[in-house]
Amino acid sequence: MKLSGKVAAITGAARGIGKACAKRFLDDGVKVVISDVDAEGLAKAAAELGHPEALRTVVGNVAKRADVDQLVATAVKEFGRLDIMVNNAGVARNRDILEISEDEFDEIIGINLKGAFFGVQAAAKQMIAQGGGGVIINMSSVNALLAIPALATYAMSKGGMKQLTSVAAVALAPHNIRVVAVGPGTILTDMVASSIYTSEDARKTVMSRTPAGRGGEPSEVASVVAFLASDDASYITGQTIYPDGGRLILNYTVPVKDK
Ligand SMILES: NC(=O)c1ccc[n+]([C@@H]2O[C@H](COP(=O)([O-])OP(=O)(O)OC[C@H]3O[C@@H](n4cnc5c(N)ncnc54)[C@H](O)[C@@H]3O)[C@@H](O)[C@H]2O)c1
């Protein structure tokens, strides 16, 4: 119960990784405000998560600054402060790079990168106002480093998030605020079902690049988030930690006789 009594806000928490982070925090004694653009899903998630004394919801779109500000304001109004911000909301579109429209580019970058930037700003302003300290965690991806051609907008957004994390960590270090990112590999959520596992072949391709031989569970990302949010990670800032089943370190090549 290293996080007991802390106050956290999580975006995109109606399902998947965000919801798993909310569950982990609630189990660890954290007071949590969850937000999502999907009002119905958010209400359902809140009912499933339980802990009504320690859980609040706010419907909001992270691409709108006012909605992200509202999330932080709710944490302060309901629980008096904000210690942990998890900028988790994100979307992926599977598309040939030549077919990406300006609207789609703006949509993905607006949610994944601009939304996280709004979250960093809103959380940091509150943390500084309450005397400093706190942890901001951005939900990145192995796609911050990997280049998968069908996920160009997604990769650009997560690549940008890597630098958002680094630059914010340096800027906010004087206020004792740590800024870190978590970059999962393939985690078994609705996002993967709709955008990554688009066919059995696609699933097999991902598995052929995953030494662990299986997709990850959302709880296996939430446990990394809980560690980074805790004082056990007190000397980690500016880094992205990758729970990816060995995906990024894999550099296996089949021996080739003729060069
Ligand atoms: N699942 C994976 O394999 C994987 C891997 C690496 C990174 N991630 C990242 O983890 C995060 C969560 O992904 P997930 O797999 O749980 O996805 P998911 O699709 O299951 O859940 C995403 C949630 O974000 C919400 N959301 C979407 N747009 C929003 C917006 N504009 N404002 C507020 N909420 C919004 C959705 O309604 C949904 O509840 C994302 O940032 C994603 O990029 C996921």
**Cβ(209)–Cβ(248) below 8 Å:** no
Output the residue whose Cα is nearest ligand 1's atom 5: 184
Gap between the Cα atoms of 105 and 241, Å rounded: 26
Residue with tokens 């709004």, as numbered in its chain: 118
Predicted TM-score (pTM) of this structure = 0.97
191 Cα nearest atom in ligand 1: 19
Could you tell me the distance, in angstroms and rounded to a whole number, from the CA of residue 224 to the centre of ligand 1? Answer: 17
Q: How many CA atoms lie within 13 A of 184 on its CB side?
A: 25
Output the residue whose Cα is nearest ligand 1's atom 7: 141
Q: Which of 162, 176, 174, 153 is nearest to 99 (CA)?
A: 153
Where does ligand 1 bind, in terms of residues with CB under 6 Å? 11-12, 14-18, 36-38, 41, 61-63, 88-91, 111, 139, 141, 184, 186-187, 189-192
184 Cα nearest atom in ligand 1: 6
The confidence score (pLDDT) of residue 195 equals 79
Q: Which residues contact 193 (CB under 8 A, 6 or more apart)?
A: none
Q: Which residues contact 65 (CB under 8 A, 6 or more apart)?
A: 118, 122
7-246 in CATH: which number?
Answer: 3.40.50.720
The confidence score (pLDDT) of residue 188 equals 95
Mutate to test the pocket of ligand 1, among 91, 108, 241, 248 (most ligand atoms within 8 A of CB): 91
Cα 101 to chain centroid, rounded: 25
Gap between the Cα atoms of 201 and 207, Å rounded: 10
Gap between the Cα atoms of 36 and 20, Å rounded: 14
The confidence score (pLDDT) of residue 184 equals 98
Q: Which residues contact 132 (CB under 8 A, 6 or more apart)?
A: 175, 176, 177
The confidence score (pLDDT) of residue 133 equals 98
Mutate to test the pocket of ligand 1, among 10, 15, 17 (most ligand atoms within 8 A of CB): 17
Could you tell me the distance, in angstroms and rounded to a whole number, from the CA of residue 89 to the centre of ligand 1? Answer: 5
Could you tell me the distance, in angstroms and rounded to a whole number, from the CA of residue 253 to the centre of ligand 1? Answer: 32
Phi, psi of 34 (to 5 degrees): -105, 145
Could you tell me the distance, in angstroms and rounded to a whole number, from the CA of residue 197 to the centre of ligand 1? Answer: 15
Phi, psi of 10 (to 5 degrees): -135, 130
Mean pLDDT per 10-residue section of the chain, whose length is 259 residues: 95 98 98 98 98 98 98 98 98 96 98 99 98 98 96 98 98 98 97 86 90 96 98 98 97 77
Q: How far is CA 6 from CA 33, 79, 154, 224, 244, in A?
A: 11, 9, 32, 17, 28
- CB-CB neighbours of 206 under 10 Å: 18
Q: Burial letters for 57-79: b for 16+ Cβ neighbours within 10 Å, e otherwise?
A: bbbbbbbeeebbbbbbbbbbeeb
Mutate to test the pocket of ligand 1, among 23, 107, 154, 191 (most ligand atoms within 8 A of CB): 191
Q: Is 18 exposed, middle or buried (0-12, 13-18, 19+ CB in 10 A)?
A: buried
The confidence score (pLDDT) of residue 71 equals 99
**Cβ(217)–Cβ(115) below 8 Å:** no
154 is catalytic: yes
The confidence score (pLDDT) of residue 259 equals 66
Domain map (residue ranges) of the chain: 7-246
Which regions of the chain does DSSP assign to beta strands (E)?
Answer: 7-10, 31-36, 55-59, 84-87, 134-139, 177-182, 240-241
Phi, psi of 242 (to 5 degrees): -110, 95
